């Protein structure tokens, strides 16, 4: 875990600015010029549907995806908004346009990239596709990696800034959301039958890929980055179905989640936090915020009814199965059914979450205690008084 000694006084002030944004919902903040996002399907606002081949079906481009907030599919893998959307809206930014919109036929609908842009692609991995292919793992969604997204970003920069100095200033004044990324580096091999022992060996390389991307962005001028950890994958309907166990001891008695998979997520998150500590020492003037997606979500799984959920581990949209998930039945496809009220479900399609769950995670990150450092650690620098947490 990161310690407050890892940060400069200026770093604490910047973090306080970021964390306090959600406390004033709808408050337009001029602290940042733009917001830039990288990641996978937890942050993709429409890139995969735009870059996929025309003959390849992408479920997020069809209803019921997008039905809750947008009332039409947007390419988001949820019924509505994602964490990145709630952060953007709380800061007064428009919803971040997908970077591929500029390269699409309807380029005029790309939006104002000077205020923000999203490079996240569903299915993307932190490591390069060749890393997984060498280990017999295929990516059925895309060949895009975090490195690919960085290349897109560098190609885009001249369209929003004219000189190296102005580009550095643009990045200094932007908020960077690094994911979530890394989940698919494990999802693909696990769901294709690779062992825990094998996939454990991937973790240092996955974390290193994230670190290299952060380092490159910092060298380009980035000053404020939010770096999310992985969600508790042992609570996913997909994993609970595909990797079901006959041993009751493999499951958490309170949540019904698979213990070993959640322990795997925690291992990734531990290594990621250790790497962030190393980067903080290397770049003491840069603000690196760890976003604890794992515990922000686990509070929901531990007490779903407290947050208004009737179901935590069963999917709202999916095929027949004990968790309303079937690996050969896509949400919205033949054989699938959708719940009447997604807001009472944590899981949307067995892999991704509902807008209601993402909203709670986002609020827990930026209004509550699920960031490193916690807001209570900032009080001596900012005069901020921490209220009761919702642990």
Which residues are the active-site residues? 41, 349, 352
SS3 category, 318 = strand
Which residue matches tokens 């996002």?
37
Alpha helices (H) in the chain, listed in sequence order:
9-19, 47-51, 83-90, 129-133, 146-156, 164-172, 183-191, 196-200, 203-220, 237-242, 259-282, 293-302, 355-366, 379-382
Question: How many CB atoms are closer than 10 A to CB 3?
Answer: 11
Q: Are 13 and 78 in contact (CB under 8 A)?
A: no
**What is the dihedral angle through the alpha carbons of 339, 59, 175, 107, rounded to the nearest 10 degrees?**
-130
Sequence-ordered list of residues with C-beta below 8 angstroms from that of 375, at least 6 positions apart, any chain: 16, 19, 20, 369, 384, 386
């Amino acid at each position: 875990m990161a310690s407050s000694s890892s940060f400069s006084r200026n770093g604490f002030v910047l973090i306080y600015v970021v964390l306090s944004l959600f406390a004033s919902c709808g408050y337009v903040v001029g602290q940042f010029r733009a917001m830039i996002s990288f990641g996978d399907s937890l942050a993709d606002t429409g890139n995969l549907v735009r870059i996929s081949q025309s003959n390849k079906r992408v479920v997020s481009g069809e209803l019921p995806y997008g039905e809750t907030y947008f009332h039409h599919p947007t390419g988001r893998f949820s019924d509505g908004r994602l964490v990145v959307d709630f952060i953007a809206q709380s800061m007064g930014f428009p919803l971040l346009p997908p970077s591929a919109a500029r390269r699409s036929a309807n380029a005029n609908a790309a939006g104002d990239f000077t205020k923000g842009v999203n490079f996240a692609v569903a299915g993307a991995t932190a490591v390069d596709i060749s890393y997984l292919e060498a280990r017999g793992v295929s990516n059925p969604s895309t060949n895009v990696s975090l490195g690919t997204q960085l290349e897109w970003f560098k190609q885009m920069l001249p369209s929003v800034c004219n000189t190296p100095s102005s580009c550095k200033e643009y990045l200094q004044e932007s908020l960077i959301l690094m994911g979530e990324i890394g989940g698919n580096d494990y999802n693909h091999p696990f769901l294709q039958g690779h062992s825990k022992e094998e996939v454990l060996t991937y973790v240092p390389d996955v974390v290193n890929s994230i670190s290299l991307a952060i380092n490159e962005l910092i060298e380009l001028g980035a000053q404020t980055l939010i770096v999310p950890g992985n969600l508790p994958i042992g609570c996913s309907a997909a994993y609970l179905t595909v990797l079901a166990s006959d041993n009751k001891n493999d499951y958490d008695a309170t949540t019904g989640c698979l213990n070993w998979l959640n322990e795997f997520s925690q291992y990734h998150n531990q290594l990621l936090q250790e790497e962030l500590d190393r980067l903080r020492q290397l770049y003491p003037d840069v603000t690196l915020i760890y976003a604890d997606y794992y515990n922000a979500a686990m509070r929901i799984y531990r007490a779903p009814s407290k947050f208004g959920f009737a179901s935590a581990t069963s999917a709202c949209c999916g095929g027949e199965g004990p968790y309303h998930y079937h690996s050969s039945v896509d949400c919205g496809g033949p054989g699938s059914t959708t719940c009447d009220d997604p807001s009472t479900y944590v899981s949307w399609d067995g892999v991704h979450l509902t807008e209601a769950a993402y909203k709670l995670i986002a609020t827990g990150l930026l209004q509550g205690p699920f960031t490193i450092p916690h807001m209570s650690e900032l009080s001596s620098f900012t005069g901020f008084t921490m209220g009761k947490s919702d642990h």
